[in-house]
Amino acid sequence: MYDARRMSLQEKIEQHTALIGVMALGYVGLPLIRDFCNAGFPVLGFDTDPHKIELLQRGENYLKHLGEDFVADMLASGRFNVTTDPQRLGEPDAILICVPTPLTENHQPDLQYVDRAADSIARCLRHDQLIVLESTTYPGTTRQRVLPRLMATGLRLGHDFFLAYCPERQDPGRRQPTTRQVPRLIGATDEKSAELAADLYRHVVDCVVPVDSAEIAEAAKLLENVYRAVNIALANEMKLILSAMDIDVWKVIDAAATKPYGFQPFYPGPGLGGHCIPIDPFYLAWKARQASQPTHFIELAGQINTRMPEYVVQCTRQALAQRGTKMDHARILVLGLAYKPNVDDVRESPSFELIARLRALGATVDYHDPLVRSTPKTRRYDLGMTSVPLNTESLGSYDCVLIATAHDSYDFQMIAEHAQLVVDTRGATRQTRVPPDRIVYA
């Protein structure tokens, strides 16, 4: 017999018929679409960039670390569609907000994208929709910025619509654990919203961890990344200290890591990159000031990490000077534009600052990155560069090769053999067999 009863959101989730909307198709949103598509849900992706939409509709993937056939496979499933039209936000049964949360020029939280997303949803909000914010932000954002915009429609939280926070836990390029194996936190503004969000995410991850509020989930995400920022700062400061003592910091870390408890290895580098670690401590520090609480420890870590590009440039300058080459006469090749190995992600990459600082001192600078063919325009830099070839002849033509990103595809033995001078910020050449006076660890 025909059942005229309208199917509830919970029933749609259980039967995999709920249409999932994902706002912003970047490093968080696009893999999330894959997860729900693979779980059998129909998915509608939203983005304001028409070029991204055109590429996706043609089956082309602009995030290469996800695989060449990534988008084509989703299109072939028949469950994947994309649009730039915000008026279609009334169609999805669940909308997952994955917009960026950058900093202003004054290192204040910039939530304009979250606000715009919430406003766009509010204009189309209907009964029985679940809204989930995934963007990393300070505690209180879901309840204080998103919720009022949705409630202004006259619809009731927990009855007509539902709102939760589930912090993203994407790590571009990581193979293990898989996204399904990484637990997801669910914090909400009411009990029913928490229940529905948990039910939804259980279809794409093995473990869902409900917490008591959206604020707890928001703060937990910041703690995860502040923890990493602080420990990287410790590793960076140890590098400064031990270098002054002529002690190999990487050997020290390896030795300490033999202890099976009480120590987790973190490694120094030329500065922080990615969307989370360089930004999240500032979100927490800003919110702490609203509560009249200082954040001395967190801010000190930020100062150390922010100082690293300058330190690397000074090491490079000194190493060149010891060989009789002035910086304003030097030709320098920077290896790696991405902020981490084996991905094309350049968000907040310290390589941009290294290049800009070296150029400001008069050096002629090129870069090579097998995954990044040209430098995109960022909020702070517009370098206008393209990746140069990397071979034995080109290596020898530079006064210095500066290793900023240790991609697995790099042959560091070949690089160390043919470069006149290597400045290594990642410890990538430690196992190479070349005269030690040709390598400087910075």
Could you tell me where the DSSP H helices lie in 99-146?
Answer: 112-124, 141
CB within 8 A of 435, min separation 6: which ones? none
Beta bridge partners of 212: none
Long-range pairs of 252-257 with CB within 8 A, sequence gap ≥ 24 = none
Strand, coil or helix: 69: coil
Q: Could you tell me where the beta strands, DSSP code E, fall in 336-396?
A: 364-368
- Domain ranges (residues) in the chain: 9-211, 229-441
Beta bridge partners of 403: 335, 424
Report field, pTM of the whole predicted structure over 0.85: yes
Is 229-441 the same fold as 9-211?
yes
> What is the side-by-side strand order in the sheet with 129-133?
80-83, 43-46, 20-23, 94-97, 129-133, 161-165, 184-188, 208-210
Q: How many other C-beta atoms are found inside a 10 Å radius of the C-beta of residue 161?
A: 24
Q: How confident is the model at residue 64 (pLDDT cuts 50, 70, 90)?
A: confident
Q: How far is CA 4 from the centre of its chain?
A: 46
State yes or no: pLDDT of 357 exceeds 60: yes
For residue 3, what pLDDT is reported?
42
User: Domain 9-211 is of which CATH architecture?
Assistant: 3-Layer(aba) Sandwich (3.40)
Beta bridge partners of 333: 366, 401
For helices 214-244 and 280-290, the axis angle rounded to 10 degrees is 120
Distance CA 423, CA 196 (A): 52
- Does residue 177 have a cis peptide bond before it, meaning omega lies within 30 degrees of 0? yes
CATH number of 229-441: 3.40.50.720
**Of residues 410, 404, 408, the one with CA closest to residue 424:** 404
Catalytic positions: 276
Q: How confident is the model at residue 278 (pLDDT cuts 50, 70, 90)?
A: confident
Q: How far is CA 84 from the centre of its chain?
A: 23
pLDDT in tens, 170-201: 888 787 888 899 999 999 999 999 999 999 99
Q: How far is CA 317 from CA 46, 324, 363, 390, in A?
A: 47, 10, 10, 23
State yes or no: pLDDT of 11 exceeds 90: yes
State yes or no: pLDDT of 5 exceeds 60: no
For residue 1, what pLDDT is reported?
32
User: Rounded to a whole number, what is the distance in angstroms from the first to the last CA of the chain?
Assistant: 74
pLDDT in tens, 292-310: 999 999 989 989 999 999 9
Q: How confident is the model at residue 276 (pLDDT cuts 50, 70, 90)?
A: confident
Give me the residue label for tokens 């100062």. 303
Residue type, 114: V
Q: How confident is the model at residue 2 (pLDDT cuts 50, 70, 90)?
A: very low
